[in-house]
Amino acid sequence: MHGLLADGREIVYYDDRPGRDRSARDTRPLTAFAPRGELRHDPLTGDPVLIAAHRQTRTVNSTRAGCPLCPSRPGSPTEIPAADYDVAVFENRFPSLGGQAGGRCEVVCFSGEHDQSVSRLPAARLTTIGRAWADRTAALTRLPGVEQVFVFENRGAEVGATLAHPHGQIYAYPYLTPVQRSVLRSARAHRTEHGSCLLCHTVAREADGPRVVAATAQFVAYVPESARWPFEVHLAPRSCVGDLAALAPAEITELMGLYAEVLRRFEGLFTNPTPYMACWHQAPVRHRADLDHFYGQVFTTRRSADKYKFLASSESAAGAFINDVLPEAAAERLRAVRI
């Protein structure tokens, strides 16, 4: 169900079962929503950089009291007007995209329960989340000027999550991000040389190798041969599927089950939950003749119980990664986690 928040932002509810009343109104006295992101380009690399100085004042909150993503209670309205919800998606109040920059930023809340995590949600909710991602991908792909729809979750303060409530985000970029531009270039070269899809080739090779972490009939989760991060898993369909919106309902359920298993394996790596970043690299809105195969990426910057990988000069300035963990050993560790 679609609605509008008090400042004009759009909110969409996705429920595990149909028939819920989601008509509650946002009663907060908010001023009209006016995104202020600015897109600049680095003249040396050509890379786009979003300047979003207004985000310095955005909400930082880890406790239930004052959480802007919990359902609204009488006297304490939040971003979600409903008294409870399953999955809620709304435009980010402090976006880096939109306005002059173009594109759009959305927030995806995975549960009305503050202390939940995606890895522990029941199968029905995982499917609802997958359905919400797919539906938003289709909607954002249709927005004028959008070139790439990037779905992601930062989980844990150590990797930049400013709110503890289980939630992710979607960035609809009005350009191809540097990583996607590189993948597109490689996919084009592979197609020219071999006449086939680079991702199909890569997934088939990994599926028979020593770095598989888990798999289903249609999807494979593996540590990539040249993983950049101490623990990193890619999840991909075995054959070409461009984005989450192109999956059939049963395929969404299958993929989300595998995804949650990967998250549980990450969370079980150490004695306390592992902070992680999880994202979906979906095929670009255009150029699908060259690249029409999405993949997920789950990774952590944590390399041992008390050590984190920092992005130092080589990674941050030169873009040249050094991984201290052997990818084959990382796969073995992830497979060994009891879930």
**What is the set of active-site residues?**
167
Nearer to Zn ion, 20 or 114 (CB): 114
Nearer to Zn ion, 116 or 253 (CB): 116
Among 155, 293, 302, 309, binds Zn ion (CB under 5 A): 293
Among 5, 11, 12, 67, binds Zn ion (CB under 5 A): 67
How is 134-197 classified by DSSP, letter by letter? HHHHHHHHTSTT--EEEEEEEESGGGT-SB-SSEEEEEEESS--HHHHHHHHHHHHHHHHHSS-
User: Across the strands, what pairs with 192?
Assistant: none
- CB 303 within 8 Å of CB 229: no
Q: How far apart are CA 151 and CA 320, in angstroms?
A: 25
Nearer to Zn ion, 39 or 106 (CB): 106
Q: Is 165 in the site for Zn ion (CB under 5 A)?
A: yes
Least distance to Zn ion, CB of residue 144, Å: 28
| Largest pairwise CA distance in the chain | 63
Written as one letter, the residue type at 101 is A
Beta-carbon neighbour count of residue 176 at 10 Å?
A: 18
Least distance to Zn ion, CB of residue 287, Å: 14
**166-185 binders of Zn ion (CB under 5 A):** none
User: Across the strands, what pairs with 1?
Assistant: none
How is 57-81 classified by DSSP, letter by letter? G---B-SSTT-TTSBPBTTB--SB-
- CB 151 within 8 Å of CB 168: yes
Nearer to Zn ion, 39 or 254 (CB): 254
Site string for Zn ion, 196-235 (x = CB under 5 A): -x-xx-----------------------------------
Rg over CA atoms, the chain: 20
Q: How far apart are CA 278 and CA 168, in angstroms?
A: 9
Least distance to Zn ion, CB of residue 168, Å: 14
Q: How far apart are CA 84 and CA 135, in angstroms?
A: 21
Least distance to Zn ion, CB of residue 63, Å: 8
Question: Applying CB under 5 A, what is the total number of residues that bind Zn ion?
Answer: 10
Stretch that binds Zn ion, among 31-39, 91-99, 130-138, 158-166 (CB under 5 A): 158-166
Least distance to Zn ion, CB of residue 72, Å: 11
Least distance to Zn ion, CB of residue 70, Å: 3
Among 215, 240, 325, 337, binds Zn ion (CB under 5 A): 240
Least distance to Zn ion, CB of residue 315, Å: 29
Among 55, 93, 114, 333, binds Zn ion (CB under 5 A): 114
Nearer to Zn ion, 95 or 166 (CB): 166
Burial (Cβ within 10 Å: 0-12, 13-18, ≥19) of residue 324:
exposed
- CB 115 within 8 Å of CB 42: no
Nearer to Zn ion, 212 or 325 (CB): 212
Nearer to Zn ion, 17 or 73 (CB): 73
**70-109 binders of Zn ion (CB under 5 A):** 70
Q: Is 24 in the site for Zn ion (CB under 5 A)?
A: no
Packing angle of the helix pair 249-267, 327-336 (nearest 10 deg): 100
Q: How far apart are CA 333 and CA 339, in angstroms?
A: 13
Q: Which residues bind Zn ion (CB under 5 A)?
A: 67, 69-70, 114, 165, 197, 199-200, 240, 293
